[in-house]
Amino acid sequence: MSSTTLIDPAAIAEVELSHEEVQRYSRHLIMPEVGVEGQKKLKAASVLLIGAGGLGSPLAMYLAAAGIGRIGLVDYDVVDYTNLQRQIIHGTKDVGRPKLASAKDRINDINPHIQVDTYEVALTSDNALELFEPYDIIIDGTDNFPTRYLTNDACVLLGKPNVYGSIFRFEGQASVFYAEEGPCYRCLFPEPPPPGLVPSCAEGGVLGILPGTIGAIQATEAVKLILGVGTPLIGRLMLYDALNMEFNEVKLRKNPNCPICGENPTQTELIDYEQFCGMPAHDHSLYVNGNENGDSAPVHQISPEELNTRLNNGDDLFILDVREPHEWEISNLEPLGAVLIPKGKVLERIGELDPAREIVVQCRSGARSADIIKELRKNGFQNDRLLNLDGGINRWAKEVDTSLPTY
């Protein structure tokens, strides 16, 4: 692809490199594929990163070091100890700070010659087009399907490339979805997976080094797009297996019937992506996924303090832990009578549950347990006898039994 179609030639013409910048970027300038003209393209370019977490960390730092003139960051989270294993843009001193503040400080330290714009908001259908419009490239560093579909559709509607990456445990994926020249994300995944089928990194874990690998690949693709060199991952899905140290590639084709980028698109605006995917996009989302019978009854929550009070009062409660065995080893409520039945085996062992008893379902943070409550309702359990431990065992460890670790 030609970089002149991506970066405004007038903007490139206005760029000058100071003596300090020439020294800073000297290893770029002596490469014939970059040179002075290429470095000016990088300085004239603008890139928006969705997420300042695992993928956003290496992306932001490498793009800043490369001299991207304007970097935008979208995130509304704060730095937590559990982030530090992989989100290397943040340090121990940043725990409790907004991720955007921490990330901006680090970027400015790496390269004070660039502009950093931060947007401490949740990306939604209401603000995506406005946020994306000023940027040349959008990079998807998110970890949930509603935001991935939203990012894709907004990029298609605006005609912008979407540099995609995803990570889970030891595996990663990367591609460039650019409807102007190839397929989009919907061409590859027309429909989202069923809710609860694909666990998040918070539920399934991720090798701390993995986002560094995938994020660096995404950063490389962004730089190639800006310079107009090499062969971008348009129409190709790169698959990475860290355990076997293997890279594989799948060829992708544009779907002529794609509802957003096909020959006769039926979707011409952004939609409700939480409803489309049947799952929340954000930690603070109030979305409730109804079951197949149209049951949209809310999942009843019980706080750790409320559960502790009821147990101390001698109430007959059955505590069902739906985490995995290796999580049980980290922390558990076995002294209180909790029983471990992993989420994937609950329906197989449903006969071990007494519908006449009140059941408190518990996991790490409350997401998987809420899914199990919905499944139990489908199988005849009364909603008023099912309680979800709000915040999971991690909140219990913070508010009731501080001798337990959080993870």
**H or E element: which one contains 47?**
strand 46-50
DSSP characters for 302-346? E-HHHHHHHHHTT--EEEEE-S-HHHHHH---GGGT-EE--GGGT
**H or E element: which one contains 116?**
strand 115-119
Angstrom distance (rounded) from CA 81 to CA 406: 9
Angstrom distance (rounded) from CA 226 to CA 159: 15
Active site residue: 155, 184, 187, 201, which one? 201
Relative to beta strand 339-340, strand 358-362 is: unpaired
- Residues pairing with 50 in the sheet: 74, 140
How far, in whole angstroms, is CA 384 from its chain's centroid?
33
Active-site residue 258, yes or no?
no
Q: Exposure string (b/e) for 59-71, b if CB count within 10 Å is 16 or more?
A: bbbbbbebbbbbb
Q: Which two tokens stand for residue 227?
A: 């310079």
Active-site residue 201, yes or no?
yes
| Residue 279: how many other CB atoms lie within 10 Å | 24
Q: Is the dihedral of CA 21, 24, 25, 29 positive or negative?
A: positive
Q: Which residues contact 339 (CB under 8 A, 6 or more apart)?
A: 318, 319, 320, 321, 352
Residue 184 near residue 260, CB atoms below 8 Å? yes
Question: What DSSP character marks residue 299?
Answer: P
Angstrom distance (rounded) from CA 109 to CA 113: 10
Residues noted as catalytic: 201, 363
